[in-house]
Structure 1
Amino acid sequence: MKKAKIYKPNKSAMQSGLGKLDKWVLEFETNDPTKNPLMGWESSNDTYSELRLEFSTKELAINYAKKKKIEFEIIEPKKRKIVKKSYANNFLK
C-alpha cells in the first residue's frame, strides 16, 4: 500500500480565527508528479494523490490506517505561542 501522512492542517491566510481546524487529515504521498507538456500543470497517474480523508480525532485516523494496512507518518501540530497584548501599552512610553 502507499505511504500516507496524518496531520492537522494549518489555518489559511484568509482565516482570522481558529474555527474548523479541529480535523485530522490523512493524505497519500505522490511518488512522481509530472508536468503536463501542453498546459504546464502538475499531473500524476496516481489517483491516491487526489484522496483526502478527514477524521475528528488523531486516534480515528491511526486506527483507519492500521485497519487498511496503510503505512503512515504522523506530523504533530506546533503549539501556538500566544502573547497577551494590551491596547493601553501603546500609550505608556
Structure 2
Amino acid sequence: MPIARIFQRPKNSMQSGRARTDQWQLEFEPAEAKQPDPLTGWAGSGDTRDQIRLLFPTAEAAVAHCERQGWDYNLVPAPEKKLKLQAYADNFR
C-alpha cells in the first residue's frame, strides 16, 4: 500500500515572490532505498512512484484524492509564516 505525503510547497530560497506556494503537493514515500549505479555512480531505484508529484489547490482536495484511491497518507501541516519587519535604516545602527 503506497503511503503519500501531503504538504504545502515551501518558498524556494532563490525566489523572492510567493508563486505556487499556495498549492499542496502529494508525493509518495520511497518504497526502497536508492542504490548507487556501479557504472555512473548515480543514485537510483526501481520505485517509479518517486517520480510522481501531484498538485492540488487545497489540502482537503489532496486528502479526498488519497481516500478515493485507497492510499494511506500523512498530512504535514502548513508552516507558520513569520514576518521579519525591519526598516532600511536599521542596517546603519
TM-score above 0.5, yes or no: yes
Give, as a single letter, the amino acid of the residue that structure 1 aligns with 2:19.
G
- Superposition deviation, residue 60 in structure 1: 0.3
- 1:26-46 Cα offsets, whole Å, 9 max, x none, are 101112222211111111111
- 1:8-32 Cα offsets, whole Å, 9 max, x none, are 1211122111122111011011122
Unpaired runs of 5+ in structure 1?
A: none
Secondary structure at the residue paired with 1:26?
Answer: strand
The separation in 1 between residues aligned to 2:22 and 2:81, in whole angstroms, is: 14
Give, as a single letter, the amino acid of the residue that structure 1 aligns with 2:27.
E
* 1:87 alignment partner in structure 2: 88
1:39-58 equivalence runs, <5 A? 39-58=40-59
Q: Which moved more, 1:81-90 or 1:7-16?
A: 81-90
Give, as a single letter, the amino acid of the residue that structure 2 aligns with 1:79.
E
The separation in 1 between residues aligned to 2:68 and 2:5, in whole angstroms, is: 15
Secondary structure at the residue paired with 1:78?
Answer: coil
* Cα gap change, 1:40 to 1:90, in 2 (>3 Å): closer
After TM superposition, the score normalised by the length of structure 2 is 0.88
The separation in 1 between residues aligned to 2:58 and 2:43, in whole angstroms, is: 31
1:65-84 equivalence runs, <5 A? 65-84=66-85
Give, as a single letter, the amino acid of the residue that structure 2 aligns with 1:7.
F
Unpaired runs of 5+ in structure 2?
A: none
Percent of aligned pairs sharing the same letter: 35
